[in-house]
Amino acid sequence: MPTQILVVDDEPDLQLMISQKFRKQVREQVLHFEYAISGVEALQKLQSHGEVDVVLTDINMPEMDGLTLLAKINEQYPLVKSVIVSAYGDMSNIRTALNRGAYDFVTKPIDFDNLEITLNKTMQAALTHRQAVRDHDQLLALQQELEVARKIQQSIVPRKFPPFPERREFEIHAEMIPARDVGGDFYDFFLIDDNRLGFVIGDVSGKGVPAALFMAVSKTLLKATALKGLPPEECLQQVNRILHLESVAAMFVTIFYGILNTRTGEVEYANGGHNPPYLLRVGGHIEALAGTGGLVLGAMRNTTYQAKKITLQAGDGIFLYTDGVTEAVDEQNEQFTETRLEESLQRSADAFLPHVVRNTIDAVQKFSNGAPQADDITLLALKYLG
């Protein structure tokens, strides 16, 4: 699309001279000129001709002079760049014009080589300004879309606590803090039947929107498969096959999935490459759950998974987390580590379950001391009440 230039001057010879000087650019559709003989007509053409990039205007004209026109252009068409034409030595009007928003000026009698240089510079400034505005608008639109995506992502993980207020055999609490607008961590919990509670935590490779999309797919697949009542190892195997089949860009997810028998306290679980959760025993004893040796999901089609079982006594709990906790860093790039996590859990193991989660987040944030959060932080705590 040619650059649009509006020439405003009441001297008829100027149109002819401009047509001759820029005939090649006009013929090659690099430039397109419109003409007006007064400020009033110029405003009418600005209104009717859409995107004008540059206005070249004389100062002395009938009906509306160039200085008044400049003020109106600056107010109504801030993306348009203006070049004024004034008599040599008319510094007072030139200064006024620049104060009213003119980008540059040329003097009479017009040196058309100098005019060409001035217009080229002004056109480049106008196009750069327009592109900057478009980029800014696109950034704002993207930020709005990311905010909607963030709200959607937050809505697909349980946010209401306690989630099952009528159940007295267990309590559960979780929190997720994405490092960006959207992230790749997730958690979930659901009643498979009257006596079995499924609970899961996951961490997708990568960051940002791709990880968030893969997170939504992984969470949905896991829950849909788990609600069939399959044992944890079979559930992970089925989800892994589907993710590997559908995965793009070599993405994968780590998942820990467990099933609590709410009558007996028995927990059967399988681990797909995730951080081992901690067992919180009554009295404050803390230990990492034994691993099951499973690989991440989505990386290899025929991966098999193993399950293990533990039995919780009344008051015992399980604490699940993603590596955004232990790999959080301070200003010296030192990591929070499993050791500090265990110390934090030791201090709050017997606390009210939401306090266990919140105290851990507070410990991480205090340790980071304002250092940027590099990874999503997700915690899920479950307690068996008997």
CA distance 218 to 212: 10
* Mean pLDDT score, 274-282: 94
What integer pLDDT is reported at residue 234 of this predicted model? 97
What integer pLDDT is reported at residue 370 of this predicted model? 84
pLDDT-wise least confident of 102-111, 151-160, 163-172, 301-310: 151-160
pTM of the model: 0.69
What integer pLDDT is reported at residue 88 of this predicted model? 65
Pairing of β 54-58 and β 31-36? unpaired
* Mean pLDDT score, 167-172: 95
Extract the tokens encoding 91.
Answer: 């510094």
Tell me, what amino acid is at 99?
N
CA distance 22 to 33: 9
Report CA torsion sign: 345, 204, 293, 334.
negative
Backbone angles phi, psi at 31, to 5 degrees: -125, 150
- The proportion of the chain whose per-residue pLDDT surpasses 70, expressed as a percent, equals 95
Extract the tokens encoding 84.
Answer: 């004024």
Give tens-digit pLDDT for 23-82.
Answer: 998 899 989 998 998 889 989 988 887 689 999 988 888 888 888 988 888 888 888 999
Q: Is 155 helix (H, G, I), strand (E, B) or coil?
A: helix
Asked if the model's pLDDT at residue 171 lies above 80, the reply is yes
Enumerate domains of the chain plus CATH numbers.
3-136 (3.40.50.2300), 157-384 (3.60.40.10)
Residue 247 — pLDDT band, cuts 50, 70, 90?
Answer: low
Backbone angles phi, psi at 66, to 5 degrees: -65, -30
Report CA torsion sign: 353, 164, 282, 267.
negative
* Mean pLDDT score, 282-299: 90
CA distance 326 to 211: 20
Overall residue count recorded for the chain in this entry: 386
What integer pLDDT is reported at residue 152 of this predicted model? 67
CA distance 264 to 78: 72
The CA-CA-CA angle for residues 157, 162, 168, to 5°, reads 130
CA distance 280 to 324: 20
Mean pLDDT of the chain, nearest integer: 89
Asked if the model's pLDDT at residue 281 lies above 80, the reply is yes
The CA-CA-CA angle for residues 273, 277, 280, to 5°, reads 170
Residue 142 — pLDDT band, cuts 50, 70, 90?
Answer: low
* Mean pLDDT score, 276-288: 91
Q: Higher model confidence: residue 210 or residue 243?
A: 243
Tell me, what amino acid is at 143?
Q
* Of 356, 363, 344, the residue nearest 318 (C-alpha): 356
Kindly calculate the radius of gyration of the chain based on its CA atoms and give it in whole angstroms. Answer: 34
**DSSP state for residue 280 in the 8-state scheme:** E
What integer pLDDT is reported at residue 283 of this predicted model? 82
* Of 213, 153, 209, the residue nearest 177 (C-alpha): 153
Residue 162 — pLDDT band, cuts 50, 70, 90?
Answer: very high
CA distance 192 to 269: 14
Give tens-digit pLDDT for 5-26.
Answer: 999 998 888 888 888 889 998 8
Extract the tokens encoding 307.
Answer: 């399950």
**DSSP state for residue 166 in the 8-state scheme:** T
Residue 348 — pLDDT band, cuts 50, 70, 90?
Answer: confident
